[in-house]
Amino acid sequence: MIHPSETGEFYELTSPTALPKASGFLWNDTMMIHMNCRGYAVAQFMQPEPAKYSHAPNLEMKTFMQPEQPYYAHHPGRFLYVKDEETGEIISAPYEPVRREPDRYLFRAGKASIEWKIESLGLHIELSLRLPRAEPLELWRMSVRTLSGTKRKLSLYPYFTVGYMSWMNQSGEYREDLQAMVATSVTPYQKVQDYPKINGLKDKTFLLAETKPDAWEASQDRFEGEGGLWSPSSLKEDQLAGGDARYETPVCALQYRVELNPGEEKEFRFLFGPARTEEQIRAMREAYFGARSADGRTGFERAEEEYAAYIAEGIGCLDIQTPDPGLDNFVNHWLPRQMDYHGKTNRLTTDPQTRNYLQDNMGMSYIEPSIARAAFRTALRQQKASGEMPDGIILHPDAELKYINQVPHSDHCVWVPICLSTYLDETGDTSILMDEIPFADSAESVTVLEHINRAMQWLMRTRDERGLNYIDQGDWCDPMNMVGYKGIGVSGWLTMASAYAFRVWADICEEAGHAVVAAEFRQQADETNETVNRYLWDGDWYARGITDDQVVFGVKEDKEGRIFINPQSWALLCGAADEEKQQRLIRSVEEQLETPYGVEKLAPSYTAMREDVGRVTQKHPGTAENGAVYNHAAAFYIYALYQVGEKESAYRLLRKMIPGPNEEDILRRGQLPIFIPNYYRGAYRQFPHTAGRSSHLFNTGTVPWVYRCLIDGLFGVQGTPQGLAIRPQLPAEWNEASLTRRFRSAELRIAIKRQPGVSTAEVYVDGVLVEDGLLTDLKEGHTYEVLVKLPLK
């Protein structure tokens, strides 16, 4: 019922009801659409701020995507009604709104398309969605073919929702000159100075048809009548009434009356999206359905091919073949795709949080390093001369910091050296350290090296008398907003993260020839670790922080929020935990935080507001930061386990992050294994019946860290200034694995095998033993055959 296609390019589902929230997503530089297997959609485009062209049925909050998205009858969607003109029977594809169980059903979430193949009423129906390379536009194909041996008379009704556009002004009509349904609105505003902004917005939504329809309807209410969406009254008539919508909720509904001979098929193509003017819609008709090129293709077909090529650019630097085919499929096809989405779209915001922006571009270091390089420069231009990094990075001249970026957070500086280190590992491009960049609040221009020195020094200064870092109104955990809002509370995690950042930066500085500076930062890391152990070790794990009222939390005495995962992860990374502490905290995590679906962020989940911790405690137990399997935090822990050689625990938890491998687990999670979600429900020991459910949010900083776990940990093919270090950490259950690693324009075909008579890892390149496992002098364009021999279990 749930499986990858033969080539791995699609993930397929053969039931519309077994996994009702199964979905895929597509994007380009200006838009994103999250498409549900039953026909519901969440779409957004940039103009330059995020906007929608297919709305909810009434005024909605300006949110992008909701965790565990609740779908409802009038949720925005893309549907095709089909009526048998002789019997009056009605079905809908993909499944909603009629919900008639098809004879056959296939949903295919692909890399560059989302497709359905459905059989019902003796008909074969196919739908496909693609995007163009850059425009905010949906490209739809809809086809119907008869399976019976008789002639069929049908009416086909493409039905695309528009929803409640504006309380000021909204309407809809069919424009015969455009061959399109056009819904028009005016974005509400109050201040006269806002008029120039709203005057340039794309406030029209259109459905443009290549083939002229026989009838249409623009009023959602008149289309539905008394029958509702499941049995619209207008479909009982011979044809749609051709009405318009005047300050009513508009809809884009068309009708095609067709007669099909046995085995005959008819296809229709549509464009759906936003526009500012009718002239833009007319230009799109010409561009996509106008004159054909010399090879006979329309712009529509060329756009489909260009988009497939665009998505194909987002390949990672790793292809694997292991004893786990589910892992192979995910790593080879879907994980780099999700990283590419984050890095190219910046999560469809003009002011991404600094930590998100830097980590997303850490991921781009593996796909398109030039994008990552530019992003690091962009971020550092917005740093203050004091070293402080902003809460968000402005990416458009008209943008401003919004929502969470107006709340002061304390962690953004730590991410600069941590994320840059991956770029340096992959590229060896130390020249970036000498780039001169100005500050946001000063005409002074200094090197990237000096920018990051100041970021580290800022972390050293923003500490209390004990040497613990202030948390302000949040650190990595946004909703931990009341621990330190009085200016006294501190973050145990941030103190450890600072120590780790000092260590990472010290290594970079030493490699760049700045030994004295490196020694100073190493000393700071050591002193910080001593502080961590003095004030935060609780006997079996580390505390999360200390509140404004000097209450240590995340400790044994707490009934809720007794243990947090982040301090344990980063105590391993920064070196605060010696071997004994490592074993104690790892055991505590296994006993209190590990679940069948991954490792929880905290436990037990809070069940009521704790005012000295903040709004994280108000979230439902087991959701998001309040005790979910919050995959971003889980990835930190997995990476840390690999760093200290705990390969068995690391792989066990890494595999739990991906739905499967069995169908039962996929059904429990409720999503296809084509992306890692922001979280899976936690509170496993408190509410086990809901644990494991996916949030379905694919915006997450998890993915670059998972890729780092694969590169630096599981397969041990990490870049260094000198070359590629081969140090695999395969789980004991694997006897062999193979991979292709692309590194600095060379290609390495690596076979890893356990063999008798081997006591320690041996690395051979083209048959020659490399004593230290470090591959140097790799030539651009060359392919190398690498054999890694490992001891038997």
Catalytic residue positions, numbered: 478
Residue 652 near residue 642, CB atoms below 8 Å: no
Looking at residue 704, the DSSP 8-state letter turns out to be: H
b/e sequence 179-199, b meaning 16+ C-beta within 10 Å? bbbbbbbebeeeeeeeeeeee
- DSSP helix, strand, coil percent of the chain (3-state; round to 5): 30, 25, 40
Q: For residue 759, count other CB atoms closer than 10 A to its CB.
A: 7
Give the side-chain half-sphere CA count within 13 A for 589: 30
b/e sequence 637-667, b meaning 16+ C-beta within 10 Å? bbbbbbbbebbebbbbbbbbbbbbeeeebbb
- Token pair, residue 152, equals 């069929």
Q: CA triplet 391, 357, 332: central angle to 5 degrees?
A: 155
The helix or strand, by DSSP H or E, that contains position 676, with its residue range, turns out to be: none
- Token pair, residue 446, equals 């200094």
Looking at residue 480, the DSSP 8-state letter turns out to be: -
CA distances from 32 to 25, 140, 157, 604 (A): 7, 15, 25, 36
Q: Could you tell me the sign of the dihedral formed by the alpha carbons of 500, 505, 506, 508, in that order?
A: positive
Residue 107 near residue 118, CB atoms below 8 Å: no
> At a CB cut-off of 8 Å and minimum separation 6, what does 622 contact?
605, 628, 681, 682, 683, 684, 686, 687, 690, 691
Beta strand 90-93 pairing with 2-4: unpaired
For residue 467, list its beta bridge partners: none
Q: What is the side-by-side order of every strand in the sheet holding 552-553?
A: 490-491, 545-546, 552-553
Nearest to 712 by CA among 658, 768, 777, 645: 645
